[in-house]
Amino acid sequence: MKSLVRKATVETKTFWAVDEFDWVENEKRYGWVQCDRGTKNDQCGECLHALLDIFPQCCSTNVQWAIFGPSCGMRMDDQKFYQSSGNEGTSKSRKLIISFSVSGFVALLCFGVYCFWYRKRVRKDKMIFEEETLNGDLPSLPLIAVLHSTNNFSEASKLGEGGFGPVYKGILPDGRQIAVKRLSQFSGQGSQEFRNEVMFIAKLQHRNLVRLLGCCLEQNEKILIYEYMCNASLDFHLFGDDEKRKQLDWKLRLNIVNGIAKGILYLHEDSRLKVIHRDLKASNVLLDSEMNPKISDFGLARAFEIGQNQAKTKRVVGTYGYMAPEYAMEGLFSVKSDVFSFGVIVLEIICGRKNSGFHLSEHGQSLLLYAWNIWCAGKYLELMDPTLMKSFIASEVVKCLHIGLLCVQQDLADRPTMSTVVLMLGSDTMVLPKPNHPAFSVGKLTSKEASTLRSSNNLSINDVTFSSVLAR
């Protein structure tokens, strides 16, 4: 095997090699080594030699064995498992050999050195671990590797818990960090949502979407593996204390607004699928090491066919406060329902307060209605988070408020598309249309408003209103 490593890295520098060896009388062994094609030559050698160092601990007593590392692999067998007898093979043989290779994402799958071996004379074309996928794009990970990375799902590794189940931090042997999302047996999301998430994220690649690295479907476990976002979610910073919100100065908040908009635009218009997310909210926007936003959690997402603009469901799922009215009340969803959710997030980013529960504040009305009243009164900056006083640019805050109100209009036909939103955010000269009243609101009425409504509607109401019809 050392000679094969030398062939792959020194003699041919092709990053792969195969050969046969005389073992004992009338008995041969067949070997293969290969590195990921993106690996540098010196890194390839280091990876393969590291596997050789591990060999005595796992495989020295086995006739048939194989080991994979983060970006390389090797195998030995007493059966010939390739079609060429050396490095000088046909293109067909080379293609077959590459099928055994550690492909571009194996580095993300192995989570360190993972080895297993065959029983003597029993093969049936088994590989180290099979790249079974739910859709042909996403590899399945061995449970043993996931357990190792999270210290057996220890409490110390736990990052938090959502509707899907607990999320753990995992660490690869090379120091890279991952997020491991484990479906709870008591989760509100089931197998369909799990498969849904895998199907969409595996097919979607954008700098403003969280990256799904793999999944695990062993021993009744349903596990998703993501890139780790060291700055947690947007809501952690936005709705925390003053110190956390101060970390999000206006420049960062504007960058986050732009990033979310571009991510949604990709889902709606630029990806292979036309995807409606259906659960856009601050907690589903993750922040990377540079505070760039990445949209996550596609368990409720739906794909539209070419020409399809709207769909209806009897099962309304999502998060109240971010739901468009036509979806919450009638089950109708479209790109415009995502636009509505984006508008809510924009208003939350400006003021640093949640829409949900805002009516319980001293303002006595929903965030949407409060923002609308401020807009109508021309007191645009009153909505702004006080922690932004030293960093804001008035014209940009006003423009974002304007766009946010356009996105949360009650009539979905009035809301802009995300392509228009991105244009508006990027232009300093574009004339924006006047927004109409926002969608239904929940809030306390003033005594004057309540009196007016009682007399005009001839009905008895308490101090809470639930629709924009009443609010008007």
Clarify whether residues 31 and 70 are in a common domain.
Answer: yes
Q: Please enumerate in sequence order all residues whose Cβ is within 8 A of that of 95, keeping only pairs 6 or more positions apart, or say none.
A: none
Residue 89 shares a structural domain with residue 154: no
- 421 with 333, same domain: the answer is yes
| Choice among 177-181, 222-226, 437-441 with the minimum mean pLDDT | 437-441
Answer whether residue 84 is part of any domain.
yes
Average pLDDT, integer, range 3-8: 90
Rounded distance between C-alpha atoms, residue 401 and residue 407, angstroms: 10
**Range of weakest confidence among 92-106, 181-195, 392-406:** 92-106
Pair 380, 374: CB distance under 8 Å: yes
CA-to-CA distance for 286 and 164, rounded, in angstroms?
A: 16
Token pair 């390389």 in the structure block, residue: 72
Write the CB contacts of 121 (distance below 8 Å, at least 6 apart in sequence): 78
User: What is the value of pTM for the model shown?
Assistant: 0.67
Q: Which of 203, 227, 251 is the last residue of a domain?
A: 227
Mean pLDDT of the chain: 78
Q: What digits encode the pLDDT tens for the residues 356-413?
A: 777 666 666 789 999 999 999 999 999 999 999 999 999 999 999 999 999 999 999 9
**Which has the minimum average pLDDT: 132-136, 424-428, 458-462?**
458-462
Q: Residue 126: inside a domain, yes or no?
A: no
Same domain, 279 and 345: yes
pLDDT in tens, 305-339: 777 888 888 778 788 889 999 998 889 999 999 99
Q: Name 106's Cβ contacts closer than 8 Å, sequence gap at least 6.
A: 36, 68, 70, 71, 73, 139
Q: Domain of 152: which CATH number?
A: 3.30.200.20
Residue 95: CB atoms within 10 A of its CB come to 11
pLDDT above 90 coverage of the chain, percent? 38
What proportion of the chain, given as a percentage, has pLDDT over 70?
75
Task: Classify 423 as helix, strand or coil.
Answer: helix
Is residue 450 located within the same domain as residue 325?
yes
Q: Chain centroid to CA 86: how far?
A: 43
- CATH of residue 278's domain is 1.10.510.10
Nearest to 241 by CA among 389, 365, 385, 393: 385
How many Cα atoms are found within 13 Å in the side-chain-facing hemisphere of 365?
22
* Shared-domain flag, residues 369 and 431: yes
Domain boundary among the residues 227, 247, 270 is at 227
412 vs 409: CA distance, rounded Å:
7
Q: Quick: pLDDT tens for 412-435.
A: 999 999 999 999 999 999 999 999
- 310 occurs within a structural domain: yes
Q: How far apart (Å, rounded) are the C-alpha atoms in residues 197 and 466?
A: 33
| CB distance 241 to 191 below 8 Å | no
Q: What is the mean pLDDT of residues 53-71?
A: 74
pLDDT digits (tens, 9 = 90+) for 256-269: 999 999 999 999 99
In a domain, 253, yes or no: yes
Q: Residues 75, 92: one domain?
A: yes
**Residue 265 or 59, more confident:** 265
In sequence order, what are the beta bridge partners of 264? Answer: none
- The answer to whether residues 252 and 106 belong to one domain is no
Give the contacts of 460 (CB within 8 A, at least 6 positions apart).
Answer: 454
Alpha-carbon torsion (45, 50, 53, 58), positive or negative? negative
One domain for residues 318 and 459: yes
Question: Does residue 106 lie within any of the structural domains?
Answer: yes
Look at residue 132 and tell me if it is in a domain: no
Domain termination residue (choose one: 177, 195, 227): 227
Domain count, the chain: 3
Say what angle helices 394-407 and 335-351 make with each other, to 10 degrees: 150
Q: What is the total residue count of the chain?
A: 472
Q: What are the tokens at 86?
A: 């050396």
Pair 188, 244 in one domain: no
> Residues 85, 115: contact at Cβ < 8 Å?
no
125 part of a folded domain: no
134: in domain: no
Same domain assignment for residues 37 and 112: yes
Q: How far apart are CA 288 and CA 255, in angstroms?
A: 13
- Can you give the residue range of the structural domain that contains 317? 234-471
Closest C-alpha to 399, from 366, 369, 433? 433
Region 14-34: what's the mean pLDDT?
A: 86
Is 103 found in the same domain as 156? no
Cite the active site residues.
279
pLDDT for 282 equals: 95
